[in-house]
Structure 1
Amino acid sequence: MRAYLSGHAGLIFACFAVGFLCCVWAGSQADKALPPTEGWYSYYAYEINERGAVPYLDFELLFPPLYVYVIAFVTKIFGYRLMVLRVFGVLIYTATGVFACLIFGKLFRKPLVGMIGGMLTAAFLQSESAQIFYDYIRLMDLSVYASIYFFLRYFDGVFRPGSSVEKRDGPFSSDGILGTVFAVHASLYKQSSGLLYLAFCLAALVFAAAVFGQKRDLWRQVLVSFAVCVLLYGGMFLFLASKGALGAYFYYNFQASVGAKGGSLSAVLFGWFFREKKLLFACLPVALLWVGLLFAAAVYSRRKRAERGVKDADGANGADADDKAEQRLMYATAAAALLTVVLCFAIPALAEIFSSWNRSWRKYLPFLFSMLAFPAFAGACIFRRKIRADDGFLCKYFYLSGTAFVLAYAVSMSGGLGESQVAPAFALSAVSFAGIARFPRRRFLSLATAVFMVFDLGISFSVKIRSPYSWWGLDTGSYGEQTTECVIPAFQGIEMNEAYARMYNNVYREIRENSAAEEEIFIFPHMPVLYLATERRRATFTAVQWFDVSTDQAVAEDIEVLKEKRPVVLVLCFIPDSVREAHEQSFREGQKSGLTKMQEFLCRFVEEENYILLSSDTVSAEYTIEVYRLPESG
């Protein structure tokens, strides 16, 4: 153990530095800002735990069931306070950052590069203003990063000189099995991104087995991975069948989820590209140059090493692990990263300056980088004999660049590129030169990469400090404005700005005073956490009536339900025309969505049924939340 710790001291420090930075960053955000769109799955968990609800049968769900049951498990033990889940989110985020560090450390065998890659990934994936640390995307990210790490370990075993997986692990590789298990796990959180990633992993194994045909370990792993997929999915199907929800699962996760975006698969797959083609083409020349230079540097460096007979040592403690200058730079970089977080919080003006540097190229350039690097290194694997490069490195870089491309492309199908899934591509494009470099004066390249990382951390952190949460115009205000708590027990421990605290207090009071526990209410369109907070029953099948989270058919049926039931209390947050039109133009060619039809119905409904306005609170520029009750329910 002592020898192992001594041999991996650099990587251990890198992981600790990344984990500590993630913990400080997420911890500082955990008790700040509370958008009404948070807590969807907390409410689903409440329905499962307290009322025996079954997903797909008792409430509409267009996603796989795993995340619902994870949240149900956590809340069953620790209760329904959102602060509990936010602490859970800090752990998820920290683990994700550590795995990112391990990934880049494993690929490049340089602790400094691993630390920089881990910090860049962690900061960038959370810089998207609509992300919450514990949501299903974060758990999918954790599963994906764990899967990537174990597959990289597996490829290390396959291509290690004079060794084989079978000699070390027996006929089945634990790394290959764990990589597949986590890949399947990711697909059970989000079907689009997760299934694409799982399919890519299986395809990458087949490709590697075909290209490196002498490696029979690869063909064995292909069969084992397919068997693991069948076993895990079979278990989930049996569980759903026991609940009577298997058929509904297939309908809502595939047919209905595509239908919720307008029903056009081509619009989902390719529509985003045509909407954003100007920005993509503007970044393309830089991406081509970047990948070309990187590919040339990779081939040159690896060829020179091969000619000298230099082999990477086992583990992530690469060729420069004993380089004192590299170690000092790593310590200084870690300190600078932590100082950047502190300064951004302490000096609002500095955060404003950093956030002003947030540009769209930070998403588009890394995406194009991964899109070009992936086929380039796939070709290098095929023609590796001619370029005389290292088989193991080529295979691992092909796999990681392909993964980065697949994740970025998958998230684009939800409306466009997002920072959360572009993060691996962003970090890979930023650290690759420093990771690959094996030439004189390469320390200057490491120093430049470290300086870039510290500056970019300032941008990512400042974006969230300036606006902890912003989604389609629903903005919670800056970090400094989050100073007030509301009276709702489920929200205890979370500070928000005064407008949100006032709104929550009013909504909570009016619902509790104007409805009984057994009576049904209706909350529109994306605030089901208020059902949980007020302990009231939902009148409709859909809990969320958002564009791609509910089907038009289910919303139309719920309109009829509302006409019949006339809920005693309505809580309405009307969506601005600009937001609705943007969604409908993107996926429906301007045709009305279920949300628009429901909103138009509710405008008429409150007048026709003479609902009485109890409170009205403006929480953001275009968002006002109103509470109504029936005249006879007062």
Structure 2
Amino acid sequence: MEKLKDRNFQAKMSRLRREDKLFYLFMFVAVFAAALYVALGHSKTMPFAEGWYTYYAQLINEKGLLPYRDFEYLFSPLYIYFIAFVTRIFGYDIIVLRRLGILMFAVIALGVYLFITEIVGRKKAWIAAVATVTATLYLQSEVVQIFYDYIRLMDIFAVFTVLFLMRAVKAMQQEDDQKKKINLIFCGLLNGFFINVKQNVGLIFWAYTVVLLIYLGIYFHHSAKRIVKDLLAYLIPLAVVTVVIYLLLAVTGGLTGYLSMTGGGAISAKGGILAILFNWVPNNMLSFKQALPQALPMLLGLVILVVGREAGRLKDKTGNGCWEKLADAMGALYLLGIIALFILEARHASVAYYFVNWSTPTTYWFFEIVFPAFLAFGFWFLYNIIKKTNKADDYTLWFALSGAYVAISWGCGNSGGLAEGQATTGVAFVVALTLYCLSYYRWIKVLQVAVVAACAGVTIQSASKKMVKTYYWWGADEADFWNSKEEIETIPLLRGIHVSNDTKEVYEEIYKEITENTDTDDTIYCFPQIPIFYSLCDRYDPGVRSKVEWFDVSTDSSVEADIDVLTENPPKAILMYDVGANVYDSHERIFRNGGISGTRKMREFLYNYVYVNDYTFVGIYKTGTNVLQLWIKGEDAENKETAVFDSGDGTFENPYTLHTAEQLVLFSKMVNDGRTFEGQYIEQTTDIDMSGIAFTPIGEIDGESCFKGTYNGKGHVIRNLSIQGKATEDVGLFGRLEGAVYNLGLEAGSLTGDCVGAIASYAVNQEAEIVNCFTDVDVTGSRAGGITDNFAGSVVNCVSAGALTGGENADAIAYNSSIMVENVYQLTGQKTSLLDRPSIQENRVSYADEDVFNSDFLVKRLNAAVREKNKANGESGAEEAITLVEWTKGTDGHPVLVPEN
């Protein structure tokens, strides 16, 4: 008997040693896999929006400036001081911070592995390994983030806060008060750091933890005194962290600013507390709806597994034999296969491009599984509380984990919506719970193979996504992993970073222009989200309060105050990143209830400022979807009183207005220098005479920019416009047009070139429009278009009455590729009154001689079209529909527009 007991003891110890070995082995390989993936890509690409904290760190370390006291900073202080500390020791090279990112991801993976192991146990460490790699690679697929972003530091504190919460709940379940107290202390400490990296997510997690401890205390029949002790064990260390940070801020003079900026300032920047907490749900309802059909089957499957297990009270059937070994082998095979695929993808782009096209679960898919599971667990525990039973014990940790994910995701949603980066705990929950439940069913255990295979698919697809689309944030992108192979050796802080050839040229050219045309004591201004150029060029800003003037990370009041700073302290160079109109519209809709943001006001100020203060436009720099513009102030430049526009902010309700030839010239220069006016409105408030004024087409054919807004002539004319282009040059009032021109007339001018269109020479795409316009100018070219030349858009209700010289290609639309031509009329010398003979391009251009042009018939037909269009716009309720002005007969009898007052 003694020998039998001894053998049993030895066998048990042998199993424990094996479990410990596998626990550490799986931990090492899982963490290694996560770190390896980041290591493969850490030196690739350099987004223009990276480097905020590099500049913040320089302000702190080199200038002695402090956040909250000396400049606006709407986040908690821990990360900014963390980066300042790291850069003070290791320098400001971006590659150093990228290497820090490798370590950060390894730590995140370690935290995920440990908290999943707390639930599934060391015997099922392979489940924790599969869940960890799947979750951390899914996190990394969030292409909006960089490797060492402040969100990643938040993730570290988040996963370890979850870990100690799991351990505290486990100790509560085991009635081990001492262990529970220790883990609650660590949970509180880490949650304190969590809050002080990203306050909204950390505070929501704090609120969740308080409610959870009370709820489970009631479930476990703890007294009120015992529950209060648990809460104090958690809350006191959290308060200590907060008090210490507050004291440090008070000593440095930043406490008042901190409370103001991270309280009222941050809340106002995001549209108010109710908008922060709840608006993200209706704003992302489409994403929820799209994910629901795929989420429901998975949720139903989990319900069946859990309910089936509870109904039969199944025990673990894994045993100590082949099932256990096969499961461990499957976990090992998953990890080794993933590592091999990482290396294979790094060497062969085709592999990644193959996997990236696979469908992958969205963050909303995971939320629609875990959130209902959390609610179901909560009601189950409530039922047990009412019935005074403890049948929910086995799922206490799963309940706590699902709630942790919901809290973190809800906090993430406050920033606009759910993101892969904050789905970590949810992905780990779904994977681990599924594999864990399947281990209790003897005959369907084989489904674990399918689940692991699905995890492999999600993991490699996540890896492929980040390699193919390395970065994408509000329209800003970067080249893929394999095309990022050019090292930026000429810029000290970017050595070791590899980018595409185009991106390298942009960085090097901007760096060269700024460093060669400014002195080290000159200031420059970088707008709105590209402070990295301060660091790269070793220059500082003119003392603006907001160093990053982005919609939800700066307050409107600070940005507006910075306008005064720039006026009083003109920077030597101004560098602007051209953010698309949809970015402004989306942020203002989400965070300003559709109102005008300070960021938009600053953009409008800058564009006016550089053109009325003699800044020299250096050039447009493009790579991918990124467009940057640089201006440098001349030595003898003087400030002027002239404004490019008389009034307005470019919105439909308050358009920019202009009325002089000088303003029209500046408007043209703006567009040709890169300002597209996308989504904006320009109105001409009176007739403009261009006699004796040299004019360059708005959006030159050979240029890099074009007009994308809406120009409303309001029935007014531009007279005596003269453009004498070369025989090979395409010209028009607008050269390249991607926007719309309404209610405009051209009279008594002369346009000469190759392919000429009086209103516009060329349409960039089918969205371009010329509506309710007339021309009575001389047009000469190999193709002479009275209205337009090669126009792929719409030409509607227009009249051409000038002299056209262009051989057979002389017409209202010289080379008609338009998708829609309606009510377009061309004066011809031939005797006709049909008004319906097709043009040589067989589109609906109609012709008439002088008699018909001078009759009332044509004006009536034009006005009929105007009234029909205005009526249709009114009936459709179109919010931004341009009202068409009516027509009358001019002094020469030709149709002209009736100007609006």
TM normalised by structure 2 equals 0.66
RMSD of equivalent CA atoms: 2.5
Deviation of 1:285 (Å)? 5.6
2:491 corresponds, among 484, 488, 493, to 488
Superposed, 1:565-580 pairs within 5 Å as 565-580=569-584
What per-residue deviation string (whole Å, max 9, x for no partner) do you get for residues 178-234 of structure 1? Answer: 122111111111111121112212221121112212488654321211211221111
User: 8 Å contact 1:473–1:620 — kept in the other structure?
Assistant: no
Instruction: Give 1 or 2: higher helix fraction.
Output: 1
1:335: which partner in 2? 336
State how far apart, in whole Å, the 2-side matches of 1:151 and 1:577 are.
44
Residue 590 of structure 2 corresponds to residue 586 of structure 1: yes
CA 1:5–1:544: 2 relative to 1, 3 Å: farther
Mapping of residues 121-132 of structure 1, within 5 Å? 121-132=135-146
Would you say the 8 A contact 1:380–1:394 is kept in 2?
A: no
CA distance in 2, matches of 1:388, 1:319: 32
Instruction: Report the 3-state secondary structure (helix = DSSP H, G, I; strand = E; otherwise coil) of the residue aligned with 2:596.
Output: coil
The structure-2 alpha-carbon separation of the partners of 1:274 and 1:136, relative to structure 1 and needing over 3 Å to count, comes to same
- Determine the structure 2 residue equivalent to 1:518: 521
What do residues 129-177 of structure 1 show as CA deviations (whole Å, max 9, x unaligned)?
Answer: 11111111001101110111122122222223xx5233xx4xx732221
Conserved? CA contact 1:86–1:133, under 8 Å: yes
- What's the secondary structure of 1:383's corresponding residue? helix
Aligned partners of 1:108 and 1:318 also within 8 Å: no
1:556 equivalent to 2:564? Answer no
Match of 1:141 among 150, 155, 160: 155
Aligned to 2:170: 156
What is the deviation of 1:289? Answer: 4.9
Matched residue count: 618
- Closer/same/farther in 2, CA of residues 183 and 633 from structure 1, 3 Å limit: farther
Distance 1:96 1:432 in 2: 20
Is 401-410 or 290-299 further displaced after alignment?
290-299
1:259 counterpart (250, 265, 268) = 268
Is 1:380–2:380 an aligned residue pair? yes
- Residue 426 of structure 2 corresponds to 425
Return the offset for 1:511: 1.7
Counterpart Cα distance in 1 of 2:183 and 2:15: 22
1:12 corresponds to:
24
1:520-577 per-residue CA deviation (whole Å, 9 max, x = no partner) reads: 2111111112112222121112111111111111111111111111111111112111
Out of 270, 274, 288, which is 2:278 matched to? Answer: 270
Matches of 2:289 and 2:618, distance apart in 1: 52
For residue 433 of structure 1, report the CA deviation from its aligned partner: 1.9
Q: CA deviation at 1:353?
A: 2.5
Whichever residue aligns with residue 43 of structure 1, its letter is: Y
When residues 387 and 373 of structure 1 are mapped into structure 2, their CA distance, relative to the original with a 3 A threshold, is farther
State the Cα distance separating 1:627 from its structure 2 match: 2.1
CA spacing shift, 1:462–1:38, aligned 2, 3 Å: same
Q: 1:321 to 1:550 in 2, by over 3 A?
A: farther
The secondary structure found in structure 1 opposite 2:576 is strand
Worse overlay, 265-274 or 496-505: 265-274
Distance 1:116 1:603 in 2: 52
Q: Flag the structure with more relative contact order, 1 or 2, with Cα contacts below 8 A and sequence separation at least 6.
A: 1
Specify the code of the residue in structure 1 equivalent to 2:597.
Answer: S
d(CA) in 2 for partners of 1:325 and 1:319?
Answer: 11
Structure 2 match to 1:45: 57
Judged with a 3 Å threshold, the aligned counterparts in structure 2 of structure 1 residues 143 and 321 are, in CA distance, closer, same or farther, namely farther
In structure 2, the CA distance between the partners of 1:88 and 1:390, relative to structure 1 (3 Å rule), is farther
Relative to structure 1, the CA distance from residue 305 to residue 214 in structure 2 (aligned partners, 3 Å threshold; closer, same or farther) is: farther
Cα deviation 1:356-377 (Å, max 9, x = unaligned): 2245x52111111121111111
Q: Which one of 208, 216, 240 corresponds to residue 216 of structure 2?
A: 208
Contact 2:616 2:633 in 1 (8 A): yes
Aligned residue number for residue 528 of structure 1? 531
Normalized per residue, which structure has more strand? 2
- Retained in 2: the 8 A contact 1:164–1:217? no
Match of 1:297 among 301, 305, 310: 305
3-state secondary structure, aligned to 2:265? helix
1:526 to 1:177, Cα distance in 2 relative to 1, 3 A: same
Change (3 A) 1:455 1:289: closer
What aligned pairs does 1:335-354 form with structure 2 within 5 A after superposition?
A: 335-354=336-355
CA distance in 2, matches of 1:249, 1:504: 34
- Cα distance in 2 for partners of 1:92, 1:259 equals 32
Asked if 2 retains the 8 angstrom alpha-carbon contact of 1:260 and 1:549, the reply is yes
- Matched to 1:213, the amino acid is H
Q: Distance in 2 between matches of 1:268 and 1:147?
A: 23
- Deviation by residue 1:66-113 (Cα, 9 ceiling, x = unmatched): 101111111111111111111111001011012112222221222121
Which ranges in structure 2 are unaligned for 5 or more consecutive residues?
Answer: 1-12, 638-901
Q: Which runs of 5+ in 1 are unaligned?
A: none
Using a 3 Å threshold, how does the CA distance of structure 1 residues 237 and 258 change in structure 2: closer, same or farther? same
SS for the counterpart of 1:123 is helix
* 2:202 counterpart (168, 179, 194): 194
Measured in 1, the distance between the counterparts of 2:165 and 2:320 equals 22
Contact 2:352 2:467 in 1 (8 A): yes
In structure 1, which of residues 232, 238, 242 is the aligned counterpart of residue 247 of structure 2?
238
Q: Is the 8 A contact 1:340 1:454 kept in 2?
A: no
Secondary structure in 2 matching 1:538: coil
Q: Tell me which residue corresponds to 1:449.
A: 451
Amino acid of the structure 2 residue aligned with 1:607 = Y
Q: Which amino acid aligns with 2:113?
A: C
What amino acid is aligned across from residue 526 of structure 1 in structure 2?
Q
1:62 to 1:4, Cα distance in 2 relative to 1, 3 A = farther
Q: Percent of aligned positions with the same letter in both sequences?
A: 28
> In 2 relative to 1, CA 87–4 (structure 1 residues): closer, same or farther, beyond 3 Å?
farther
Map 1:55-94 to 2 at 5 A: 55-94=67-106
**In the alignment, is the contact (CA less than 8 A) between 1:613 and 1:629 conserved in 2?**
yes
CA contact (8 A) 1:32 1:496 kept: yes
- Asked if structure 2 preserves the Cα contact closer than 8 Å seen for 1:574 and 1:599, the reply is no
Q: Could you say which residue in structure 2 is the equivalent of 1:30?
A: 42
- 2:469 — aligned with what? 467
Q: Provide the C-alpha distance between the structure 2 equivalents of 1:85 and 1:305, rounded to a whole number of angstroms.
A: 51
Q: Are the equivalent residues in 2 in contact too, given 1:159–1:391 (CA < 8 A)? A: no
Distance 2:474 2:69 in 1: 30
Aligned mate of 2:111, from 99, 115, 122: 99
- Partner Cα distance (1:7, 1:91) in 2: 27
Q: In structure 2, how many angstroms separate the alpha carbons of the residues matched to 1:40 and 1:157?
A: 42
Contact 1:92 1:134 in 2 (8 A): yes
Name the amino acid aligned to 1:587.
F
Residue matched to 2:604: 600
Over residues 207-266 of structure 1, what are the superposed CA-to-partner deviations in whole Å (9 max), with x where a residue is unaligned? 1112212488654321211211221111111111111111111111121112112x3333
- Cα 1:239–1:477 change in 2 (3 A) is same
Equivalents in 1 of 2:495, 2:142: separation in Å?
25
- 1:403 maps to a residue whose letter is A
Please point out which of 602, 610, 615 is paired with 1:611. 615
3-state DSSP of counterpart to 2:629: strand
Residues in 2 aligned to 1:267 and 1:321: alpha-carbon distance in whole angstroms: 55
Corresponding residue for residue 498 of structure 1: 501
**In 1, Cα distance between the equivalents of 2:410 and 2:35?**
29
Q: CA deviation at 1:304?
A: 4.7
Take 1:44 and 1:98, find their aligned partners in 2: how far apart are those partners?
A: 29
Aligned residues of 2:192 and 2:239 also touching (Cα < 8 A): no
Q: Give 1:382's aligned amino acid.
A: L
